[in-house]
Amino acid sequence: MEHRTTFEKNYYKIASARSFFPNTGSYQSLLSFDAPTGESWQAWVFNNGVLGTNGIALVKFSLNGGYSTEGEINITVGPESGDLITGTGPCTVGVNVRGGAGTNVSVWFTPEQTVRALPPFARFEASIGAAGFNYGFPPFGRYKCQILSPSNYTARLLDNAGNIVATGTFTPNTFFDDSQSFYHPPDLQLEVIPSAPPQRIKVTHYE
């Protein structure tokens, strides 16, 4: 007869949660995942907020490894984005929302996966006007970005309030040069401004 522990039987009942968190400036509890010490897991995290309205979620995983050991894994998740982490043993999950209105955050744990298989995510805009286009925060777990366009363009990174943090101008037809790829931080939005509108632009996030 197959023997299953109480933890195994209840895994998917205790391993997920979704809640709304107001912008209070402090961490609030989302979930307590009572996994046995040494039990490996992978956690999927989503910020279900709306770009331009809801805030950025700072999500803290407080791990308790047994024998009084403890540690923290902290991630940042913008609206309409997400990330995933791996860990082991029991932990609690807290959320702190900043830079906008309160937002819904979802977390669920699954048995550990050994391969992080997230395919590239590409978005193509056939006609970008002079005002440019806001692509928002990096799509779930992909922070390397490459932009293709037939003409020069300016890429800007903005905070959640729309303030410019960094800006750069790029030339076309350089997509074979890996230096044209850049790291898109999880707490910053990407905006692309064309030099010759209307302009075709394709943005791909990967890794």
Domains of the chain, first to last: 6-111 (2.60.120.1300), 121-206 (2.60.120.10)
Q: What is the pLDDT of residues 64-93, one digit of tens each?
A: 877 778 899 999 999 999 998 988 889 999
Q: Phi and psi (nearest 5°) for 173?
A: 55, 35
User: Can you read off the two tokens belonging to residue 5?
Assistant: 């522990």
User: Can you read off the two tokens belonging to residue 83?
Assistant: 């990330």
Query: What is the C-alpha separation between 19 and 41, in angstroms, rounded?
Result: 21
The model's pTM: 0.85
Query: What is the C-alpha separation between 21 and 6, in angstroms, rounded?
Result: 31
How far CA 80 is from CA of 30, 58, 71, in Å, comes to 19, 14, 28
User: Can you read off the two tokens belonging to residue 146?
Assistant: 């490459």
Q: What is the pLDDT of residues 19-34, one digit of tens each?
A: 999 999 999 999 999 8
